[in-house]
C-alpha cells in the first residue's frame, strides 16, 4: 500500500531535484552550456552543510556557506570552462565532478572518506515530532527554497539578460557583435546555477542525515539531465514536471514490482521505463513536456 | 570617420588582408567589392574584432580601436550585419530587435531581478522603437513571429533592422543583397536608401555586383588577393580598364 509518508518522501526528493534541474535548465536550456558536473555541486552543498552542522554550527549558516562556496567554485571553474566550445565544456565539467568525488572518497581527513559524514542533524527534531510532520516540514522548507529560485530564475530569463542567455545559446558572435559581454553573462550563470544546486545538496544532507561520495556518482548528473530533457530544458516550470515524472517512475516501480509478476528482474523496470520515456520524448516532443515560451519582460 | 592604415590579417602564412589602408568619411556610402576570396569579409572581421589583425591600425573617430573585442567595437558605434543572417531563431522578431538596443538596464542580471520597474519602463520604450524600425523595414506584421517564418530576403531586412536599433554611427553591411534575386535586391536597396537619407547614416557595404549598388554608393574600393587595388566613384571604377581584369582574374 502506498502510505502518505511514502508520498511525502517522494515529494521532498522531487522538490530537491527540481532545484537541481532548474539550475541545469538555466545553464543548458537557456544558455546552451553543456554541464555534466551537476553532481559535484550537489555534493559540495551536502558536504559543506554536513561538515558545518556536525561541528555544531546552525543549519542556516551551513546552507549559506554552501551557497557561497559553490558560487565561488562555479566562478572558478567557469574561468577555463567558458572559453571552450560546448562539447569540451561537457568534458571539463564531467572531469571536475569526478575529481571532486574521488578526492572526497580517498582523502579521509577531509570528510570521512568512503564512510562520509554521519549524524547530520535534521532541520527539525524527529524525536519530538510525528514522522509525518517531520516530512512535511522538510517538504515546506524545500518548497520555499524552490520558490525563491523559481522566481529569481523567472525574472532573470524574462528580462533583457534572458535575451542575452538565449543569444549566447544561438550565436555567440552575433551576441558579442551587439555589445553583449558573453563572458560575464556565462560566468554569472555558472556561479548562480552552482549555488542553486549546492543549496539543494545542503537540504538533501539534512534530510537524509548522512553523506558519502557514492551518493554523488555520474548517475545523479545523468538523472538530472533526463529530468531536464523530459520536463523541457528551456523552461522554468519544466524543472518540477521533469523531476516529478522521473522520480514517480523511480519510486513507483519499487511498489509496482510487489504487485506484478514480471518476466524480468523487477529492479530494472525503472531503467527500462525511464529509457523508453526519454526516447519517446526526444522523438515526439523534443522540446520537452513544457514548451519554450516567449520572453515576457512587461 | 573610420581610418585603417596598413591593416594586415594572416591565417598561418597566408595574408588574407594585406597591408590595406582606406578611409570612410561621415554621411557617405562606401562599397567594398571584389571577387570571391579577395578578403572582403575578413577585412570586416578585422575591423569589428572577430579576428585580431597582426599589423596596422584602425582608428574610429580619432580613437585607436585596433584589437578591440566585438562588444567594445559595438560600444564605439560600429555595427555590422552578416552575409548569412545571424538572427536568433528561438526569439520572436521583436525580441531580436530589442536585444540589439544600447544601454539596457536589464542586461545586468542583478538589475534584471531587483530593478524590475526600471527594466519594464525601458522595455516599453524599446518596444515602441522596435515597432518603428519594423515599420521602416516593412515587417510589422511579423513582430510576434519567429524568424523561421521569414524568407531569405526578409531575414536580411531583419538583420538590417537589428542594426538600426543600435543607432549606429557606422553601419557595415556584409553582402546585404547576397542570395536574393535582383528585383528584391533592388527593392532592398530602395529601403536602405530611404533609411540612409532619413537618418544620415554612414554605410560601408560589401557587394559582389557593382551594377546593383552603382546608384547607391559614393565611393568604391576594389579588393583582390587581400589588397585594395582600385578605388574611385562607381563610374570611374566601372569604366576603369583594369576593372574587368580584376574581376575575371585575366
- Average pLDDT over chain A, rounded to an integer: 88
Task: Provide the pLDDT confidence category of residue A118 given band limits of 50, 70 and 90.
Answer: confident
User: What value does the mean pLDDT take over residues B130-148?
Assistant: 91
At residue A278, the pLDDT reads 92
Mean pLDDT of B167-188: 84
Average pLDDT, stretch A206-210? 88
Beta bridge partners, B221, equal B32, B231
Contacts of B141 (CB under 8 A, 6+ apart): none
Pairing between β-strand B78-80 and β-strand B170-174 as defined by DSSP bridges = parallel
Q: Are residues B70 and B9 in the same domain?
A: yes
End-to-end CA distance of chain B: 35
Domain end among B152, B176, B201? B152
Give me the sheet containing B55-60, strands edge to edge.
B14-24, B2-11, B55-60, B63-64
Residue A62: is its pLDDT beyond 90?
no
Smallest Cα distance from A261 to chain B, Å: 47
Please tell me the predicted confidence (pLDDT) of residue A89. 86
Pairing mode of beta strands B170-174, B202-206: parallel
Task: Give the number of C-alpha atoms closer than 13 A to the C-alpha of residue A25, restricted to the C-beta side.
Answer: 35
Rg, Å, chain A Cα set:
19
B72 and B94 together in one domain: no
Q: DSSP letter at A175? A: H
B190, B122 Cβ separation under 8 angstroms: no
**Chain A contacts in chain B segment 174-233 (CB below 8 A):** none
Same domain, B186 and B144: no
Residues B204 and B145 in one domain: no
What average pLDDT does this structure show over B71-85? 89
Q: Are residues B172 and B241 in the same domain?
A: yes
Q: DSSP code of A232? A: -
**B162 in a structural domain:** no
Distance CA A162, CA A159 (A): 5
Question: Rounded to 10 degrees, what is the CA torsion of A285, A287, A291, A293?
Answer: -150
Please give the full DSSP string across B53-103, using - where no structure is assigned.
-SEEEEEETTEE-TT--HHHHHHHTEEE--SS----TTS-HHHHHHHH-SS
Q: B88: closest CA among A189, A138, A180?
A: A180
Rounded to an integer, what is the distance from CA B57 to the centroid of its chain? 20
Q: Best interface-test mutation with A: which of B49, B65, B71 has the largest number of A CBs within 10 A? A: B71
Strand partners, B78: B170
Q: Is A264 on the interface with B (CB under 8 A)?
A: no
- Please report whether residue B157 resides in a domain: no
pLDDT, one tens digit per residue, over A138-157 is 999 999 999 999 999 999 99
Query: A interface mutation test: which of B70, B89, B126 has the most A CBs within 10 A?
Result: B70
Task: Give percent of chain A with pLDDT exceeding 70.
Answer: 100
All domains in chain A, ordered by first residue: 4-284 (1.10.3470)
Q: In the predicted model, is pLDDT for residue A213 greater than 90?
A: no
| pLDDT above 80 for A113 | no
**What is the model's pLDDT at position B89?**
92
Is B27 inside a domain boundary?
yes
* Residues B12, B50 share a domain: yes
Count how many domains chain B has. 2
For position A117, what pLDDT does the model report?
84
Both B122 and B234 in one domain: the answer is no
ipTM, 2 decimals? Answer: 0.84
pLDDT at A272 over 60: yes
Half-sphere exposure of A251 (CA within 13 A, CB side): 17
Same domain? B223 vs B244: yes
> Which of chain A's residues have a Cβ under 8 Å away from the Cβ of B120?
297-298
Span A87-100, pLDDT tens digits: 888 888 899 889 98
Q: How confident is the model at residue A1 (pLDDT cuts 50, 70, 90)?
A: low
Question: Rounded to whole angstroms, how far apart are CA atoms A31 and B174?
Answer: 27
What's the rounded Cα separation, in Å, for the pair B166 and B101?
Answer: 5
What is the least distance, in Å, from the CA of A151 to any CA of chain B?
A: 9
User: Do residues B126 and B148 share a domain?
Assistant: yes
Secondary structure of residue A276 in the 3-state scheme: helix
B37 and B140 fall within a common domain: no
Tell me the angle at which helices A238-259 and A4-24 cross, rounded to the nearest 10 degrees.
140
Average pLDDT, chain B: 89
Q: What is the pLDDT of residue B249?
A: 65
Q: Is the CB of residue A294 less than 8 Å away from at least one CB of chain B?
A: yes
- β-pairing, B29-33 vs B219-224, is parallel
Over residues A256-280, mean pLDDT: 83
Q: CATH no. for residue B179?
A: 3.40.50.300
Task: Please indicate, yes or no, if residue B84 is contained in any of the structural domains.
Answer: no
The more confident residue out of A260 and B48 is B48
Give the cell for residue A242: 521533469
A-chain residue closest to B113, CA distance: A155
Same domain, B36 and B136: no
The domain of B136 spans 89-152
Yes or no, beta carbons of B99 and A160 under 8 Å apart: yes
Q: Are A220 and A16 in contact (CB under 8 A)?
A: no
pLDDT band for A54, please (50, 70, 90 cuts).
Answer: confident
Residue ranges in chain A assigned as alpha helix (H): 4-24, 38-54, 59-81, 86-106, 108-111, 131-157, 160-170, 172-177, 182-208, 218-231, 238-259, 269-284
Residue B158 resides in a domain:
no
Contact B91 A163 (CB under 8 A): yes
User: Alpha-carbon distance B66 to B50, whole Å?
Assistant: 11
d(CA B153, CA B212): 15
B142: closest CA of chain A, how far (Å): 14
| Alpha helix ranges (H) inside chain B | 40-48, 70-76, 93-100, 109-114, 116-137, 152-164, 182-199, 210-213, 234-238, 243-248
**Residue where a domain terminates, one of B101, B122, B152:** B152
Q: What confidence score (pLDDT) does residue A225 get?
A: 94
Give dist(CA B47, CA B68) in Å, integer. Answer: 9
Which candidate, B109, B140, B103, places its Cα nearest to that of B122? B103
| Residue percentage of chain B with pLDDT more than 90 | 45
How high is the pLDDT of residue B171? Answer: 92
Amino acid at each position: 500500500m502506498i502510505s502518505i509518508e511514502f508520498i511525502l518522501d517522494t515529494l521532498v526528493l522531487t522538490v530537491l531535484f527540481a532545484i537541481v534541474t532548474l539550475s541545469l535548465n538555466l545553464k543548458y536550456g537557456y544558455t546552451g552550456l553543456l554541464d555534466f558536473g551537476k553532481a559535484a555541486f550537489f555534493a559540495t552543498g551536502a558536504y559543506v552543510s554536513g561538515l558545518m552542522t556536525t561541528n555544531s554550527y546552525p543549519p542556516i549558516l551551513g546552507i549559506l556557506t554552501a551557497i557561497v562556496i559553490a558560487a565561488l567554485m562555479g566562478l572558478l571553474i567557469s574561468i577555463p570552462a567558458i572559453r571552450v566550445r560546448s562539447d569540451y565544456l561537457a568534458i571539463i565539467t564531467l572531469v571536475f565532478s569526478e575529481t571532486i568525488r574521488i578526492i572526497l572518497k580517498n582523502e579521509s581527513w577531509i570528510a570521512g572518506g568512503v564512510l562520509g559524514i554521519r549524524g547530520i542533524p535534521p532541520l527539525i527534531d524527529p524525536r519530538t515530532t510525528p514522522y509525518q510532520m517531520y516530512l512535511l516540514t522538510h517538504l515546506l522548507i524545500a518548497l520555499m527554497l524552490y520558490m525563491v529560485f523559481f522566481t529569481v530564475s523567472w525574472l532573470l530569463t524574462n528580462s533583457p539578460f534572458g535575451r542575452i542567455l538565449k543569444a549566447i545559446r544561438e550565436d555567440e558572435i552575433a551576441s558579442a557583435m551587439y555589445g553583449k559581454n558573453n563572458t560575464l553573462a556565462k560566468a554569472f550563470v555558472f556561479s548562480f546555477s552552482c549555488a542553486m544546486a549546492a543549496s539543494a545538496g545542503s537540504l538533501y544532507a539534512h534530510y537524509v542525515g548522512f553523506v558519502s561520495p557514492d551518493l554523488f556518482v555520474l548517475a545523479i548528473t545523468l538523472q538530472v539531465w533526463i529530468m531536464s530533457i523530459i520536463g523541457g530544458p528551456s523552461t522554468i516550470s519544466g524543472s518540477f514536471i521533469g523531476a516529478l515524472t522521473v522520480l514517480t517512475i523511480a519510486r513507483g516501480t519499487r511498489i509496482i514490482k510487489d504487485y506484478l509478476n514480471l518476466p524480468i528482474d523487477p529492479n530494472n523496470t525503472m531503467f527500462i521505463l525511464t529509457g523508453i520515456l526519454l526516447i519517446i520524448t526526444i522523438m515526439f516532443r523534443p522540446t520537452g513536456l513544457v514548451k519554450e515560451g516567449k520572453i515576457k519582460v512587461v | 570617420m573610420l581610418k585603417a592604415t596598413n591593416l594586415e590579417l594572416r591565417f598561418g602564412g597566408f595574408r588574407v588582408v594585406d597591408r590595406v589602408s582606406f578611409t570612410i568619411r561621415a554621411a557617405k556610402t562606401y562599397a567594398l567589392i571584389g571577387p570571391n576570396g579577395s578578403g572582403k569579409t575578413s577585412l570586416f572581421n578585422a575591423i569589428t574584432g572577430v579576428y585580431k589583425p597582426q599589423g596596422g591600425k584602425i582608428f574610429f573617430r580619432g580613437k585607436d580601436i585596433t584589437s578591440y573585442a566585438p562588444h567594445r567595437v559595438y560600444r564605439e558605434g560600429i555595427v555590422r550585419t552578416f552575409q548569412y543572417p545571424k538572427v536568433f531563431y528561438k526569439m520572436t522578431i521583436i525580441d531580436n530587435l530589442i536585444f540589439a538596443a544600447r544601454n539596457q538596464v536589464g542586461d545586468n542580471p542583478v538589475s534584471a531581478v531587483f530593478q524590475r520597474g526600471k527594466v519594464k519602463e525601458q522595455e516599453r520604450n524599446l518596444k515602441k522603437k522596435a515597432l518603428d524600425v519594423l515599420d521602416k523595414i516593412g515587417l510589422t506584421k511579423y513582430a510576434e513571429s519567429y524568424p523561421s517564418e521569414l524568407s531569405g530576403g526578409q531575414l536580411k531586412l531583419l538583420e538590417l533592422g537589428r542594426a538600426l536599433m543600435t543607432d549606429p554611427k557606422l553601419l557595415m553591411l556584409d553582402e546585404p543583397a547576397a542570395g536574393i534575386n535582383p528585383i528584391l535586391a533592388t527593392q532592398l536597396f530602395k529601403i536602405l536608401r530611404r533609411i540612409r537619407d532619413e537618418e544620415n547614416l554612414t554605410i560601408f557595404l560589401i557587394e559582389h555586383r557593382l551594377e546593383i549598388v552603382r546608384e547607391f554608393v559614393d565611393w568604391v574600393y576594389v579588393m583582390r588577393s587581400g589588397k585594395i587595388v582600385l578605388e574611385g566613384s562607381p563610374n570611374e571604377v566601372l569604366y576603369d580598364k583594369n576593372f574587368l581584369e580584376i574581376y575575371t582574374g585575366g
